[in-house]
């Protein structure tokens, strides 16, 4: 149980920061595109916490020591009024750029934390938080290579019935693909090599 709370504490900060920034970017893109669903009433992370995708899913992954971490805000799992496909492409691009930015930022922070490690004892919390942030944002960012909405590649090539698939269904399909296939055979083939390269470069 102590290990569960330790892992929960390490993952919580990167997950909360990532979801908060994702919500803010989506909100600003929605306002820019004139989407009435994005207003002051649904702004902020507190109003975008989903009981399953924002809380239950990451808690279960920590509890069962799954190699991946997934968490999504409500604004990313609920499709209201079926917005135009080009709007969804902008939202997906915004999500991807957010994860790229946070991956690079966490890599820099991890490099600084690794350089300032104490001579004896365990590294500081910033070391673990930044390392978890790299892995978490790599995991979510590479989801955009999946060929169905709401991921970027899916929105770029979506035609016909695919345009009507809800964001929630797409995220569920992506989560099943990651969770059902062993990490060393499926999605891990993409995430682990990139994570190893970034963490190795940052850790000198």
Q: What is the DSSP annotation of 96-157?
A: HHHHHHHHHHHHHHHHHHHHT--SSSPPPHHHHHHHHHHHHHHHHHHGGGSSSTTSHHHHHH
Quote the pLDDT of residue 161: 59
pLDDT value, residue 80:
64
* Number of structural domains in the chain: 1
Question: Within 13 Å, how many C-alpha atoms sit on residue 147's CB side?
Answer: 2
Q: What are phi and psi of 116, to 5 degrees?
A: -110, 25
- 106 close to 130: Cβ distance less than 8 angstroms: yes
The domain of 105 spans 2-202
- pLDDT at residue number 122: 58
* Angstrom distance (rounded) from CA 76 to CA 140: 12
DSSP H or E stretch at residue 36: none
Q: In which residue ranges of the chain is pLDDT below 50? A: none
Asked if omega into 150 is within 30° of 0 (cis), the reply is yes
Q: How many CB atoms lie within 10 A of CB 203?
A: 15
Q: What is the pTM of this model?
A: 0.90
């Amino acid at each position: 149980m102590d290990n569960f709370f330790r892992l929960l504490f390490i993952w919580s900060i990167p997950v909360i920061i990532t979801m908060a920034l994702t919500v803010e970017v989506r909100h600003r893109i929605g306002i820019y595109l004139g989407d009435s669903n994005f207003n002051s009433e649904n702004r902020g992370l507190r109003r975008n916490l989903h009981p399953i995708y924002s809380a239950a899913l990451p808690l279960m992954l920590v509890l069962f020591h799954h190699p991946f971490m997934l968490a999504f805000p409500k604004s990313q799992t609920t499709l209201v009024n079926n917005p135009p496909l080009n709007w969804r492409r902008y939202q997906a691009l915004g999500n991807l750029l957010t994860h790229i930015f946070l991956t690079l930022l966490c890599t820099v922070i991890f490099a600084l934390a690794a350089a300032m490690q104490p001579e004896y004892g365990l590294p500081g919390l910033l070391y673990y938080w930044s390392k978890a942030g790299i892995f978490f944002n790599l995991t979510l960012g590479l989801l955009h290579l999946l060929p169905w909405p709401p991921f970027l590649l899916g929105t770029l090539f979506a035609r016909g019935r695919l345009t009507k698939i809800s964001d929630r269904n797409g995220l569920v399909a992506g989560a099943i693909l990651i969770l059902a296939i062993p990490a060393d055979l499926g999605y891990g083939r993409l995430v682990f090599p990139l994570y190893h390269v970034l963490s190795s470069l940052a850790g000198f």
